[in-house]
A and B are shown apart, each in its own frame.
Chain A
Amino acid sequence: IQMTQSPSSLSASVGDRVTIACRASQGITNDLAWYQQKPGRAPKPLIYSASNLQSGVPSRFSGSGSGTDFTLTISGLQPEDFATYFCLQDHKYPLTFGGGTEVVI
């Protein structure tokens, strides 16, 4: 299953609302997760099952979608949110990631 993420990069300011899209090449029900990664760090889990927040993740992060189209929204971008974001489908082997979206200032 191919995961197409868009945009590949976006510029934003603190306080902005940011939306990142992920599209699957075939239906994956809601088996979609989102991760945040900063340079030199392991990915941090944000969302699982398309819309469920992982423990300890701020409520400004939200996810939506099902089937083939999904979005990650950050409402009120904070300085610590500037990072790269990846989607992951875990509906079918082999698991596949989107290409990533870099959120820059």
Chain B
Amino acid sequence: QLQLQESGPGLVKPSEILSLTCAVSGGSISSSLHYWAWIRRPPGKGLEWIGSIYYRGNTEYNPSLESRVAFSIDTSKNQFSMTFNSLTAADTAHYYCARRGQRSIDYWGQGTLVIVSS
């Protein structure tokens, strides 16, 4: 059974950089059939797709966030990561990593709450 697990700080100060990592187990991140995504949900709001990365390093970002976000992938460790800069309180959210394939987004991590506050 595929599992995804996010890790990173729960509290970040405004203007600092957020780094999150998603460890994938039970399957290979080098699958040619899948993309690996980051999605967030601010408190009281809906879900927002941040972007995705392919095992070869190809990326797609949400244009609304593209100037502040960057993805990377480490196939040797079976994990992928996100850095997010210029944080404000509006970036407080549950952040999820997920897998996207022929069945759309079919696996999600449990999510990690990131609070942006001084």
A residues touching B (Cβ–Cβ < 8 Å)? 31, 33, 35, 41-45, 48-49, 52, 54, 86, 88, 90, 93-100
Q: When the two chains form their complex, are residues A33 and B105 in contact, meaning their CB atoms are under 8 A apart?
A: yes
What would be 26 A-B contacts, judged by CB atoms less than 8 Å apart?
A: A33-B104, A35-B47, A35-B105, A41-B110, A42-B96, A43-B96, A44-B108, A45-B106, A45-B108, A48-B106, A49-B104, A52-B103, A54-B103, A54-B106, A86-B46, A88-B47, A88-B105, A90-B100, A90-B105, A94-B49, A94-B63, A94-B64, A97-B46, A97-B48, A99-B46, A100-B47
Q: When the two chains form their complex, are residues A97 and B47 in contact, meaning their CB atoms are under 8 A apart?
A: yes
Q: When the two chains form their complex, are residues A42 and B111 in contact, meaning their CB atoms are under 8 A apart?
A: yes
Query: In whole angstroms, what is the CA distance A39 to B52 when docked?
Result: 25
